[in-house]
A = this chain, B = another copy of it.
Amino acid sequence: MTETAGESTRAAQKERTRQSIMDAALRLSQQRGFAQLSLRQVAGEAGVVPTAFYRHFESMDELGLALVEQSFSTLRRMIRDAQRDPDTIANIIEASAEILVRVVKQNKAHFGFVARERASGSDVVREAIQRELELFISELGVVLARLPHIENWSGDDVKMASGLFVRNMVYRAEQVVQTPDGRTDIEEDIKRKARREMRLIVLGFAAWNSDT
């Protein structure tokens, strides 16, 4: 009753159309920003008539929220994979810069969406992204708190650490997204800068806690 590929059941077809609407929106929003997209443009790019849009989303805002969710699930998968990799634990900074650039490159559309709509975009989309980012900072805090040097820091300090890391990551991710494909020289430079910044923040923390 359930096939895995190319299903032609009604539900599967609906899901496929829904996904193609989301892909279309993601694709178009790279050029002019999600907030500027019209329902008709998205429907057109998805190869569907404008009214069909309503079978899947009540409004563009609802589509935006779905994209936020999808983007952050990508982000979460990234941090989960990173935790599994033994190299990461061994040399967290080198590994993080490497992973950041690689994963962002593979998901330019999602990361671009988050970076762009974080500050502007519609109220509801912007707020959703900020909530997700805060959540992500907290989650990273939990991960950091398990690391050797950090285990007895105060909650506030750990939060500051992950906040600085995440915000710097977001900034460097923006740069990766804006890098034209194939410019590995620019990517290497971004990695180098990201590493330096992370190293500096870590040094700051070492001094910080030997201080307080």
Interface residues of A (CB under 8 A from B): 32-33, 35-36, 115-122, 160, 164, 167-168, 171, 174, 193, 196-197, 199-208, 211
Contacts and interface: CB of A to CB of B under 8 A. Distances in A.
Protomer copies: 2
Nearest to A116: B120
Contacts of A199: 208
Contact of A120 (B120, B197, B203): B120
B35 A197 contact: no
Contact of A164 (B118, B200, B202, B205): B200
Given A36-B36, A115-B119, A171-B167, A200 B205 contact: yes
Contacts of A115: 119
Nearest to A114: B119
Contact of A204 (B120, B121, B193, B201): B201
